[in-house]
Chain A
Amino acid sequence: DAGVIQSPRHEVTEMGQEVTLRCKPISGHDYLFWYRQTMMRGLELLIYFNNNVPIDDSGMPEDRFSAKMPNASFSTLKIQPSEPRDSAVYFCASSRTGGSDIQYFGAGTRLSVL
């Protein structure tokens, strides 16, 4: 299996622009997670889905952030409008029911908002 695939790997944008991060989970996994990592706050869970349904979005920082999972093989995290403080590495992870709750992470998207 190719693992969790995230795109793009790097994104540089200007403040106020819309940013869309993409994730393809491992085939057969029914849980998908979005995390954000910064030096100040470490690795934070933003939202997670089960069978394409958002279960807990309490980590989403504000209304500028939204996440969707239209099908089992694709998810997006959108920031609109972006701000410099959104600069971070965003990770997607997936896991499967009965898989000992092990999460498999993608390589991440490094976002820089200028």
Chain B
Amino acid sequence: DAKTTQPNSMESNEEEPVHLPCNHSTISGTDYIHWYRQLPSQGPEYVIHGLTSNVNNRMASLAIAEDRKSSTLILHRATLRDAAVYYCILRTGGYQKVTFGTGTKLQVIP
């Protein structure tokens, strides 16, 4: 599996935007970029995914670099409920096996 690199932890003030970076310099042309998050004492939940173009959904936005070697998950207004570990994962299209890294632990400060 292609690897991703994320900071171990980040902090954000409540109601401020948060930009969570992910490096994936060995990404291949068929790899999708997926983001999951894991709230305390819960299973991971899907946040967003993309291939080449930037993506928006009700939870977040995903900005993908032109060379696809990095991406950024954007939470537009962090709330206390967004405090979680965020995982950036590469998924080869149609291939089910994935590897979760250590993720970024986001702390939201009231």
Nearest neighbor of B49 in chain A, beta-carbon distance: A100
Interface of A is mostly: strand
Residues of B within 8 A of A48 (CB): 96-97
Residues of B within 8 A of A112 (CB): none
The CA-CA distance from A44 to B98 in the complex, in Å, is 9
A95/B49 in contact, CB under 8 A: no
The CA-CA distance from A50 to B94 in the complex, in Å, is 12
Nearest neighbor of B45 in chain A, beta-carbon distance: A105
Shortest Cβ gap from B88 to chain A (Å):
13
Interface of B is mostly: loop
Shortest Cβ gap from B5 to chain A (Å):
14
Nearest neighbor of B103 in chain A, beta-carbon distance: A42
Q: Mark B48-71, 1 if CB is under 8 A from A, else 0.
A: 010000000000000000000000
How many interface residues does B have (CB within 8 Å)? 21
Shortest Cβ gap from A112 to chain B (Å):
15
A101/B43 in contact, CB under 8 A: no
Q: A101-B93, A102-B46, A105-B43 are in contact. List 16 more A-B contacts (CB 8 A).
A: A31-B96, A42-B101, A44-B100, A45-B98, A55-B96, A93-B43, A101-B32, A101-B34, A101-B91, A101-B94, A102-B34, A103-B46, A105-B45, A106-B43, A107-B42, A108-B42
